Chain A
Amino acid sequence: MAEAAKACAKDLPESALVPSEHLKFVNRFEVTRGDACISCGLCASLCPYGVHKRIEGHAKILPPDDRKCIGPSCEVNYFFCVANCPTGSLSVRESETFASMGDPRWTPEMILATWAQAETGRPLSLDHPGNLGASGGGFDKLSFKLPEPVGKVDPADICTAIDLNRRGSGTKIRIPIPIYGGGMSFGSVSVYTMLARAKAARMWGTFTCTGEGGYPEALVPYKDHVITQIATGLFGVREETIQRTRIVEFKYAQGAKPGLGGHLLHDKNTPDVARMREAVPYTSLFSPFPFHSVYSVEDHKKHLDWALSINPRALMAVKVSTPNDVEMVSVGSYYAGAHIVHLDGGYGGTGAAPEIAKKNIAMPIEYAIPKVHRFLAKEGIREQVVLLASGGLRTAMDVAKAIALGADGAVVGTADLVALGCVRCGNCESGRGCPRGIATTDPELEKLTDADWGAGRISNLYNAWRLQWCELLHRLGMSDISQLRGRTDLLRHADKPAKEVGK
């Protein structure tokens, strides 16, 4: 076992520092200096973190640089500036800028923690607040029952790889981490963002996905790590885009807008995007729903066969959302010949979706995974299907919980974007798109994201995640992530207080 694990943990990319000066704008704490300050400079000489700075010759001390402050808990230190200030003009409190960020699903802690992982590649501790959202349900109420750590984990001893084809025949593809990148179309995000994701996917030997907006030429050098998506809009789907890929993904529905088809609002349909989609620039593009050629499992099989006849080596992935009968849909997909069944839960990301659909249509992924996992097992086909989960998986721990609930692995999207500096302001749908240059096709804004820089950050994030999975598996006495699948006995739900901690 250990030998096998060592083999699968070989040749993974190292993390390197990929900082962003931009993303250092916010801290949890805010230091204010009142008018009573006499610029004596005592605080500057005391603070070891460099919050206060006084330049010789200047009449006034500089405003505090509170990004470096460690917060009110500093009061135990002899150098605590607030207590030492002779005029009592300093105060430290929770930052309001920090509180203005994020939302219950992506808390400000989680965004900052993801940025830190993307910058350094260093893992969070498993119980770090950035690993748990505040939405009060689903993953945010589940935690692992962790025994006390015994010794230190050597990541080289732990295998986090998964197979993407568990049927007896066809191409074998194995990815060293149990995640690949979800579809984000050209149009919803910039080509630089797509490139950053594709480069990171190549570094890690995993995949990213074109989304439904066609296959930009810039991605062709990364074709072994790019999934071609065939969605209901069929934008830019051609023989050559299917032939060049190793995995074809049929997108039936998307968790954030199940049953509605893709949305690209008019402003974002720039001439470049329109050319790729063979559409009229600056018109809103609403994809149909569903595939009008698919009204049954038999039709579905025909669909997959059609793609297979164009590219017989490719694996077939089927992306569906989570209705009541999601387990039947999954079984149908298996019998139609899918290698990968990809469930996209209702709380997943999107470039544009009606608010009513995001919250209210179809169930969250946390419910769909065990439902499908058990049903496939009962049907006796669980070992032939690769079940991937997505839709609101934000952290390494979310992925681990999804696996413990019964998935083989996960598909991530929003976390990649947060690594690139997304603050989840939610304004990607219209106008010039993302003001931060991620989910935009505005020729000026898209230049804010450099593909190599972004690839480094996403790669760092994956590294940090892998190290957390290694730590988790080690704590649980496992050496391979596939051992974690379906182990709901290792989870605890926060609805009722923990019993006596057993084994």
Chain B
Amino acid sequence: MFERFHVPIKVIANRAGPVPKFVIVRADNCVNCGKCEKACIYGVHVRSELDSRKMADPINNLCKNCFRCIHDCPQWSLSMAPGAEYKALGKGVWSPLRISTIWGEAETGKIPVFGAGYRGIFAGSGYDGMWTDMSEIVRPTRDGIHGREYISTSADVGRKPPVLEFDGSGKMRTEMPPLVELPVPMVMDVTRLRAMTEATIQGYAQAAKRLDMLLFAATGSLPASASAELTSHFVPVYPSGTDVARIELPQGARMAELSFAPSWKDDAKAFRARFPETVLSFRFDAGKGVEQRVLDLVRAKIDVAHILYDEEGMELDRGELRHSKESLRAVHKAMVSKSVRDQITVIAGGGIAAAEHVPKSIICGADLVALEKALLIALECRDCITCELASCPVNLSSASAEWVEGRISNLVGAWRDQLLEVLGAMGLREVRRLRGELGRAIFYEEVERDAFSDIEGGVGDG
């Protein structure tokens, strides 16, 4: 029977202690009257279990910043401060808010829903300088959050022939290239992650199987104990310099990825000769001329271009580095102008730090995005500057594969649901139609110019 794609979510508790956003300080003049206990509806203030005459230390991670205890305290002995540890989390696009949001998503699998309007900065660089469109009335295909099961999020990984050819008897002459169809436009890529253990890789692979996703990892990194079932969701990534003639694909692998090297054409030929039924992908750093490189890959009939950006979503290779927002648009436009867009699948990896980055990357021209650092953050990673498994603050090396699987399923479930929110609001029924839909996005530079060009000091004011 046909089954609709569904991400099973279940609360998977945090293993490490929470990082409170706010810290409440109780001064010495507290008289233990207990008014704060009555005031707080979240249970931050309770009496000490050892000595009920005294108030226990505030349970800061329950605090939601409402200030009620502070103004109900007759002694004015309470004060609040932003949590130092929280504020120090992450950097750049990996802001404390994004990191803690991923923790929450991986724990509950739910879409973050809160009261009060947007609280952040007006606009910023990269994907923060972009809004998705919505449609006001004329979209008969949706119903708020209802009817979401009719929105498809599936994506194809592979190349599509530009035309189909038939012989005189009506038999198809075109040889169909191999194709992997995924139910979500996301893959996992752990090749660039720090702090991998066998159990975490195993957990990622289990999650990939459960969600019918793909896991990109260095060849041989999947533990020997992993069953053959897992390998069909495993994409071995070969470093540059690999002798293609000696490659042994894991049994059941549907796709393999080579690192781009000057000898890439010969590598591709050798790979094709040996594994004609396997989707072939090349990975390379984004940078100047990335558009041309993708066009070259198209001409050589490579199935997938896996474009790598850094953690911030910036290009990696020489020259003036662009954000993937610009870089992907350039790649997409170059292919559209040559009418070859569907002849290759573009996977964009790096800088995907929040659910909104998935639809935004796709609007800019990616077919799929690769989750990388988010996979680690989902495991409560604190994104320390120096990363040592031995001194990991959340003791990642003791995480079990099952726990990892559950956390990742929750994260993907929450992100897919948020992708559905965006598609629903736009009135789109398929994520495939979102790809390259630049007309359905609002870019900061453009609207800022349109709206404010006649204002002194604004963009375009001469």
Residues of A within 8 A of B (CB): 22-26, 30, 63, 65, 67, 95-97, 99-101, 103-106, 135-138, 140-142, 145, 232, 252-253, 255-256, 258-261, 263, 265, 286-292, 294-296, 299-300, 320-321, 323-326, 329, 346-364, 366-367, 369-371, 391-392, 405, 414, 423-432, 434-436, 439, 445, 488-489, 491-499
Contacts and interface: CB of A to CB of B under 8 A. Distances in A.
Contacts of A323: 133-136
A349 B117 contact: yes
Interface in B415-431: 418, 421-422, 424-427
A296 B134 contact: no
Q: Which of B119, B130, B359 has the most CB of A within 10 A?
A: B119
Contacts of B121: 104, 135-137
Given A97-B70, A435-B66, A492-B457, A355 B117 contact: no
Q: Which of B81, B135, B356, B426 has the most CB of A within 10 A?
A: B135
B65 to A, nearest CB: 5
Interface in B434-462: 439-440, 442, 447-448, 450-452, 454-459, 461
Given A294-B137, A499-B457, 6 more contacts: A141-B122, A259-B134, A261-B145, A347-B118, A370-B450, A491-B455
Interface of B is mostly: loop
A353 B67 contact: no
B267 to A, nearest CB: 40
A426 B131 contact: no
B425 A100 contact: no
Contacts of B333: none
Contacts of A426: 65, 114-116, 119
A493 B67 contact: no
A326 B447 CA distance: 13
A272 to B, nearest CB: 19
Contacts of B454: 488-489
Interface of A is mostly: loop
A296 B424 contact: no
24 contacts: A96-B82, A103-B119, A104-B119, A135-B121, A256-B118, A321-B134, A329-B136, A329-B137, A346-B131, A349-B116, A352-B115, A355-B112, A356-B421, A392-B117, A414-B116, A425-B67, A426-B65, A426-B119, A434-B66, A488-B454, A491-B455, A493-B456, A495-B457, A495-B458
Contact of A360 (B131, B142, B145): B131
A154 B79 CA distance: 43
B442 A99 contact: no
Given A356-B418, A497-B457, A259 B41 contact: no
Contacts of B137: 252, 290-291, 294-296, 299-300, 329
Contacts of A392: 117-118
Contacts of A430: 113
Interface residues of B, number: 78
Contacts of B433: none
Contact of A428 (B71, B116, B355): B116
Contacts of B131: 346, 360-364
A151 B213 CA distance: 71
Nearest to A143: B457
B455 A25 contact: no
B356 A356 contact: yes
Given A100-B82, A288-B144, A363-B442, A429 B119 contact: no
Contacts of A491: 455-456
A496 B458 CA distance: 7
**Chain A to chain B: the 4 pairs with minimum beta-carbon distance, closest first:** A137-B122, A259-B425, A428-B115, A261-B144
Contacts of A329: 136-137
Nearest to B83: A100
Given A137-B123, A356-B356, A362-B131, A324 B442 contact: yes
B246 interface: no
B144 A63 contact: no
A392 B354 CA distance: 23
B113 A354 contact: yes
Nearest to A326: B136
Nearest to B25: A96
Given A324-B440, A354-B421, A22 B71 contact: yes
Contact of B117 (A105, A299, A325): A105
A25 to B, nearest CB: 3
Contact of A290 (B64, B77, B139, B426): B139
A364 B81 CA distance: 31
Nearest to B454: A488
Nearest to B147: A288
Nearest to A289: B144
B143 interface: yes
Contacts of A63: 27, 29, 75-77
Given A100-B82, A423-B66, A425-B67, A252 B136 contact: yes
Contact of B146 (A22, A67, A286, A425): A286
Contacts of A232: 144
A26 B70 CA distance: 9
B284 interface: no
B111 A356 contact: yes
